[in-house]
Amino acid sequence: QKEVEQDPGPLSVPEGAIVSLNCTYSNSAFQYFMWYRQYSRKGPELLMYTYSSGNKEDGRFTAQVDKSSKYISLFIRDSQPSDSATYLCAMGGGKLIFGQGTELSVKP
């Protein structure tokens, strides 16, 4: 079993839709949880960073962490074509472990 599992997609939604991206993990020692966005042929870009269970909101993005279920989510409201990218979850207690990435396409 991988330490971090992420559905690779691809996921295609119409502009304006709410997008839900998810990861599960097995290591209860993980202390911090991140979401990165990676455009084609670019390096990952940090979107959201949280230590604790609960929700964290930043504009159209909401990160949710449920440590009891070992499950994290990223919600994107009012999705835009510019949100089309691969979204990577990452987590750790020392070094980061990344998920496989979910490829998202938002159609105009």
Partner 1 sequence: EAGVAQSPRYKIIEKRQSVAFWCNPISGHATLYWYQQILGQGPKLLIQFQNNGVVDDSQLPKDRFSAERLKGVDSTLKIQPAKLEDSAVYLCASSFPGQPGEQYFGPGTRLTVT
Please report, as ranges, the residues that interact with partner 1 according to CB under 8 A. Answer: 4, 6, 8, 32-34, 36, 41-46, 49, 51, 88, 90, 92, 94-96, 98-101
Distance (Å, whole) CA 54 – CA 48: 13
Identity of the residue, 14 or 94, whose beta carbon is nearer to partner 1 in the bound complex: 94
Identity of the residue, 91 or 106, whose beta carbon is nearer to partner 1 in the bound complex: 91
Give the length of the chain. Answer: 108
| Closest approach of partner 1 to the CB of residue 16, in Å | 28
Distance (Å, whole) CA 103 – CA 84: 8
Identity of the residue, 9 or 17, whose beta carbon is nearer to partner 1 in the bound complex: 9
Residue 81 dihedral angles phi and psi, to the nearest 5°: -55, -30
Query: Quick one: which H or E segment has residue 7?
Result: none
